[in-house]
Structure 1
Amino acid sequence: MPPWLRLLKMAFHAPFREKLGWRDESRLTFRVWPNDLDVNLHMNNARYLAMMDIGRFDLAIRCGFAGLVWREKLKPVVASALVRFRRSLAPFQTFTLRSRVIGWDEKWLFIEHRIESRGDLYCHAVVKALLLGRAGGWPTAELLRSLAVQAPATEIPDWLAHWQAAEGGLRG
């Protein structure tokens, strides 16, 4: 099934699924189809990232900030990703994508994605994303306020702060 069709299917079903809180986890189940495969006959690395996009959209819809994105004409943008592939997903294998917000600062949201099957972790990733408006990045404080979430301005696990610092060396 192509990613755009999976996205449409998720978008249709999301409003009927349980609402999620700011820190709750979205869980979606998929199957590896032949068009997901690479030359090694396992799921293509890029397809993992496409699936994670769908997980973030499900999270946005079910957490309630998709409406804000629509009203304010914001664009969800991923700036970077830290991805670890642990096992290969085979043709027709089912898997679960788990997505949740694990941290934020004044500008960025950090969203964790876990792809699991048969009780094993296949891929673990964290993406650094923001909501982009006409005037630039939408402040995280505005997002939290719009969701009526009482939370500190910044909440980043220590290991994530180290990744962010290391990422600073990539600027060129």
Structure 2
Amino acid sequence: MYFIITICFLYIIFDFNYFLRSGFTVISSRFYEKRCGLNDTTTIYGFCTTQDIDILVKHMNNARFVREIDFARYHFYDRTGIYDKIKKIGDIPLHVASCNRYRKSIPIFTAYKIESKMVCWEEKTFVMEHKFITLNDGFVRALVLSRQSFQKNNSDIMFKGIPGADHKPECPEEVKHWLRAIEISSAKLRKKD
């Protein structure tokens, strides 16, 4: 009885599903998937449920896409060894920006996968790309770019020894424009402070 009360309490106070899903994503991949490098693509799977839908009760809420890339990032960090480096060196990557491109909605009760890959990295930041692809038709429903920033160390230190770190990819043109827009926005905010 106390166990049930504890679980109910955790669901009320915390978004307990988030923590369960995070743990499940990382732990299950350790048993069933091999390590990969920075230049590889990782894949996780999802299913649009009633907890993911918007007010029209027909498709995934736009905010849910950003939440889903958390799980995809955790998975990528673990499979590449970034998570081990974070624990060893004691740094924290923060999600500092995202650019979402919605092409077509993900209907309720539809299975999808998220393919994640490293796009490029700079001194203290790196950019990942996440593609939401529905399994029934293979259509890329959304593309999310996410920018991460290390708090203490630079990317070269954090990625050192990870397969693929010796081959730094060229930043795509559209990502350069997005990063430039972020710089301009940051400069405007600093002037107001």
When normalised by structure 2's length, the TM-score is 0.80
Alignment of 1:28 with 2:44, yes or no, is yes
Per the TM alignment, residue 151 of structure 1 is displaced from its structure 2 partner at its CA by 2.9
Give unmatched runs, 5+ long, in structure 1. none
Q: Which has the higher strand share?
A: 1
Q: Which has the higher helix share?
A: 2
Aligned equivalents of 1:5, 1:38: Cα separation in 2: 22
The answer to whether the 8 Å contact 2:86/2:158 transfers is: no
Aligned equivalents of 2:99, 2:23: Cα separation in 1: 26
Per the TM alignment, residue 39 of structure 1 is displaced from its structure 2 partner at its CA by 0.6
Give unmatched runs, 5+ long, in structure 2. 1-15
Alignment of 1:104 with 2:158, yes or no, is no
| AA matched with 2:185 | L
The answer to whether the 8 Å contact 2:82/2:159 transfers is: no
Residue 19 of structure 1: aligned partner: 35
Residue 130 of structure 1: aligned partner: 149
Per the TM alignment, residue 161 of structure 1 is displaced from its structure 2 partner at its CA by 1.3
Provide runs of 4+ in structure 1 moved above 4 Å.
Answer: none
| AA matched with 1:23 | N
- Structure whose CA Rg is larger: 2
Question: Of 119, 143, 150, which residue of structure 1 is paired with 2:138?
Answer: 119
Q: Percent identity?
A: 20
Paired residues, number: 167
| CA offsets 1:59-112 (integer angstroms, 9 cap, x no match) | 110001211111222222011111111111122100010100011111211100
Per the TM alignment, residue 28 of structure 1 is displaced from its structure 2 partner at its CA by 0.9
Residue 80 of structure 1: aligned partner: 97
The answer to whether the 8 Å contact 2:100/2:144 transfers is: yes
The answer to whether the 8 Å contact 1:107/1:140 transfers is: yes
| CA offsets 1:44-73 (integer angstroms, 9 cap, x no match) | 111111110110110110001211111222
